[in-house]
Amino acid sequence: MVSAVSFFGRLCGRQKKKEEERRLRANDRHFNLSYRYADNAIRTSKYNVFTFLPLNLFEQFRRLANCFFLFLFTLQLIPQISSLAWFTTAALLTVVLSITAVKDATDDINRHRSDKEVNNREVSVLINGELQREKWMNVQVGDVVQLENNQFVTADLLLLSSREPLNLVYVETAELDGETNLKVKQALTVTGQLGGATEVLASFHGEVRCEPPNNRLDKFKGTLRVDGQTYSLDNDKVLLRGCTVRNTEWCFGLVIFAGPDTKLMQNSGKTTFKRTGIDHLMNVLVLGIFVSLLAMCSILAVGHAIWDTKEGSAFTVFLPGEPGVDAPLSSFLTFWSYVILLNTVVPMSLFVSVEVIRLGNSFYIDWDRKMYYPKCDTPAQARTTTLNEELGQIKYIFSDKTGTLTQNIMTFNKCSINGRNYGELLDLSGQKKEEVDFSWNQLADPKFTFHDQSLVETIKEGNTEAQAFFRLLALCHTVMPEEKTEGELFYQAQSPDEGALVTAARNFGFVFRSRTPETITVMEMGTWITYDLLAVLDFNNERKRMSVIVRTPEGRLTLYCKGADAIIYERLHSSCSKLMGATSEHLDEYAGDGLRTLVLAYKDLDERYVKEWMRRHHKASITVDGRDEKLDRLYDEIEKDLLLLGATAVEDKLQDGVPQTIEQLAKADIKMWVLTGDKQETAENIGYSCNMLREEMKDVFVVSASTAEGVKEELRSARKIMCPTAAEEPTVTKARAGLFWLQKTDTVHDDQVEGEYALVMNGHSLAFALEKDLELELLRTACMCQTVICCRVTPLQKARVVELVKKYKQAVTLAIGDGANDVSMIKAAHIGVGISGQEGMQAVLSSDYSFAQFRYLQRLLLVHGRWSYLRMCKFLQYFFYKNFTFTFVHVWYAFFCGFSAQTVYDQWFVSMYNVLYTLLPVVGMSLFDQDVNDRWSFQHPQLYSSGPLSVYFNKKSFVRCVMHSCYSSLVVFFIPWAAMHDTVRDDGKDVADYQSFALLVQTCLLIVVNMQLCLDTYYWTAVNQLFMWGSLAIYFATTFTMHSNDMFFIFASVFPFVGTARSSLNQPNVWLTIFLTCLLCGLPVMACRFMILQLRPTIIDKVRHKVRTETLPAPEPRRPPARRTSTRRSSYAFSHTQGYGDLVTSRRFLLKRPLKSRPALFDKMGSPLAQNQPTMTEEFRLQFAGNPL
């Protein structure tokens, strides 16, 4: 109903103006309704009850073939020109339109059900001072809603208050970005004071002014005005629809954006009707065929006029003409009669068969047990049935990283402590070591695995360096612990990296138990120790390190630091040079394994120096101007002369088979682009782990300029290195395409490159590169590289990159992702693939195909896609061949029947040719044929490269098919004509009557096209055999039945060929004519194919020869990836954004909760985080408050 209202609103000219700023007031529906904001109902379906019929028919009649059949049906209603019954065309057209409509309706009903399920979810809404349960669809902008633990966020909300200390809320964003680690949101202190009292919340009338609806998931700008005071709002105070509340008993939020205005729905993109390249080609071919048909009919009509003028008068004695019909009018009527008669060049059964074949190939994907993921009970799913053959023509793949290539799970694999390497998986004999038994540690995480027992022994022996190493990991972090039951610890980390490191310390005996703003409690080898936390020197992207200053119970002050190797090394004491060399060797080894590394160091501090430093830190922290620069100088001052402890190696676990899949796709000449929101170091590291970036590449270009001119210069510089002879301006070929050649296309040609290169670009540079005057520079340089990685990319930028390649490369694209931030990219590409399973389902709901693991992509493309494309191309070639041959025989016969539009065949044969006699064999070939099996397809991925080049079916192959049909039709018509001309039976009777000739020609035609089918079939099954021989048997059975005396006696006018089959097919010369016709049609084809096979064999020919001469290749054994030699260090393992340093040292943070009740929320600006103050614990703040400089 909402869509209908908006439709009629647009119709009446009440189009909604573009929103420039959103303004709303809490608990004031009357005020907010005046702005006509969208409600919270969503609609992802394409149709409703009123629009289904017109929109669906409009979409179906966009196919020129359907318009052509409608036109033919109209002609057949005119008895003066129709030689075929009109109801046959009407019935077939109705069946075609109905089947497609039912399929579209079924898909849309499923969307309606999904929408209804979401819209009817319930949430608590504050209405008239009371919390009431309301459906999501009834929630309005400005409403205050209550969310509870594990509940989906209803709309985009401004967080008002929470049950948690400091008004924190933990949310899981898997539906948005595929990341399963929890994010932390915090309400403003002024709204946090509202607490959970409904009467207080109902009296809240704060006014929000913010940005209009947009698709930027990582940004929000706005202000909140309360009691005359204005407060700034950012993304950390907003809960987005699609998130899930975790570990939070309850929270309240103010609806800012609802329904289609939410960022989740804004990222959904516009639903488009996707058509394959073959569909577009078919439209052009149908138009060309229709023009050719009109030309043939015009020639035959002129022939009829000439014949009627010269010879027609001699026949009027036997066939008197209709009164008032002269030669010109007769020719005009003959023209339309031939239009009807020759329409079999494009029969409706072609499009029915195409849909059946696509449906069958979609079932193969759904039923493929090798694409089933048992861990999550998730099969592969073809969510559309119209794009299968396009899977065999992919040239560019655009992939997300987190949750698509990786599992977003970090594991502690190795470490280097005091120059000794721990964590090798294999022993000296090459056997896998047993897992370490952590049963001695009651608090160990049972999911943690390690394979080097010597590290445990070293710690138990009391090794000072090893214990200091894990003590640092247990203290230097911003992880937040949660202990639901005694001994059952859960760590909430901002990034999986930190969680993995703290878990490793936990298992090796240094268990982080709890924290307050002033202390950290650790259980070290069974002993409880509480450290005073004096300061947290937090991580950010510039520092690339984090430090904490703690005091032991004995009073010793220590600074613990961890960070990127290059950053820590330059801050080490000179005495560490020897240890630094040994650790560097281990870091290189870890980098070779694709692991993410951190270097650990510490420093003992003097009490007086720390007091003086803290005093200066406090002064800098309250400075307004240059505050960040002053703090950075203080951090640099104290983080010097560190003593090296060692290094950690964390694995960002890839999904199984990702490197092998990417390698296979590269061999298939498919280019891979990774578009990720992660930072550059992380993306590069994953690139090396996936073998997308390799040491043997000639160069890896990094584009990171912050100006348009700088980006242009870096792109051109990279291009000059790859191809010094490349022209300054790109070579662009302008052409026309599409129906009636109305669509203008610009194709940018690739420059020749020797060797392999890669391009890495950050989001800021990409924003400049996607501008109109730089987009071709980006495209040229990127397409010269084997691998492209774009970092910090927004969802909109992902879609624009895909659109850029689609626009200028005229290549088929595929986008694969798992989160809502990938939806725009998935919808923009020709093929969209969603990763389903543990992560969010937004990408799956918008995709064309889905499965649980990235590795299944190679089977989807190299097996199902290639087979589907090959089958569809062979089907179209054969279908056009058999129908053009069938039709051209009518043309040759016209010269012998006075151009009278008489059919050369029995009328029943004309009706059944495409429906009964030839349909099943070609459908059987198109469902079961395969050039090589799936294992050989994986063994030779180069077989796939023919698809993107459109080798198997294009305009040239269509012309060859027409020429072949023309030759076959000449043989099929003139060999029987010559054989029966002036021929008599064995008993001396004449056999050259029309009915006998028609039977002979149609029998020759049917056997010839079936013989051609046999020559085209690579893979024979029992079903193929049954369809082919069964169709011939059906032909002879129906022919003898319809030519029998009994049928003639019952329906004399319907079955006039009485006794023809019985009297003709018992003559030896008839069978000899059939054999000669088949021989003359088949021999040239076999001779031509033999010559091509000998002189210019294709890759398929070579592989098929290999299949016949060699044994079937065995499946490749699962083996660990070979260690690469690296000249670069692996990306450091750290948070993706600034850490929780301010948060964990805030006053009143992590207050101890009672089991049944909680203390009231804080009622004043007591949090340095809320006041945006730097980190300093309360102890030192009080100590130096009275001693200003």
**Which pLDDT value is given to residue 991?**
62
Query: Measured between alpha carbons, how far is 7 from 14 in angstroms, rounded to an integer?
Result: 10
Give residue 235's pLDDT.
Answer: 87
Pair 802, 828: CB distance under 8 Å = yes
Alpha helices for 511-643 (secondary structure H):
565-569, 577-592, 607-621, 627-638
Q: Which residue has the tokens 């029987």?
A: 976
- Cα dihedral 383, 387, 392, 397 in deg (nearest 10): -70
The tokens of 383 are what?
Answer: 């969510």
For residue 926 the two structure tokens come to 């198109």
- State the Cα–Cα distance between residues 859 and 846, nearest whole angstrom: 21
Model's pTM, two decimal places?
0.78
Place of tokens 């190679």: 858
Catalytic residue chosen out of the listed positions 104, 143, 368, 400:
400
pLDDT at 824: 82
Q: pLDDT below 50 — which residues of the chain?
A: 1-15, 1135-1136, 1147-1189
| DSSP states of 435-454 | PP--TT-TT--TT-----HH
pLDDT at 857: 94
Name 620's Cβ contacts closer than 8 Å, sequence gap at least 6: 627, 630, 631, 634, 1174
Q: Known catalytic residue: 400?
A: yes
According to the model, what pLDDT value does residue 4 have? 42
On whether the CB atoms of residues 275 and 62 are closer than 8 A, the answer is: no
- Distance in angstroms between the alpha carbons of the first and the last residue of the chain: 69
Count of other CB atoms within 10 angstroms of residue 1186: 6
**pLDDT tens digits, one per residue of 57-93:** 888 887 777 887 788 788 777 776 766 666 667 777 8
Q: How far out from the chain centre does Cα 484 lie?
A: 39
Closest CA to 45 of 37, 55, 36, 35: 55
Joined together, the tokens standing for residue 5 give: 């209202």
Strand-pair category, 671-675 with 394-399: parallel
Give which of 955, 1081, 1058 is closest to 1007, Cα–Cα: 1081
User: CA 863, 864, 866, 870: dihedral to nearest 10 degrees?
Assistant: 130
Read off φ and ψ for residue 1072, nearest 5 degrees.
-65, -40
For 77-84, the CB contacts below 8 A with 24+ separation are 78/336, 80/333, 81/333, 81/336, 81/337, 81/340, 82/337, 82/340, 83/337, 83/340, 83/341, 83/901, 83/902, 83/903, 84/340, 84/341, 84/907, 84/910, 84/911
718-754 tens-digit pLDDT: 999 998 887 777 777 776 666 556 667 777 777 888 8
Are the beta carbons of 703 and 696 closer than 8 angstroms?
no
Give 490's strand partners. 482
**Residue 583, both tokens:** 């650790």
**DSSP structure string for 949-1010:** TT-SSSHHHHHHHHHHHHHHHHHHHHHHHHHHTT-B-TTS-B---HHHHHHHHHHHHHHHHH
Beta strand 812-817 pairing with 394-399: parallel
* Among 791, 695, 801, 687, residue whose Cα is nearest residue 405: 687
Helix (H), strand (E), coil (C) string for 701-766? EEECCCCHHHHHHHHHHHHHHHCCCCCCCCCEEEEEECHHHCEEEEEECCCCCCCCEEEEECHHHH
> Residue 1182: its pLDDT value, please?
37
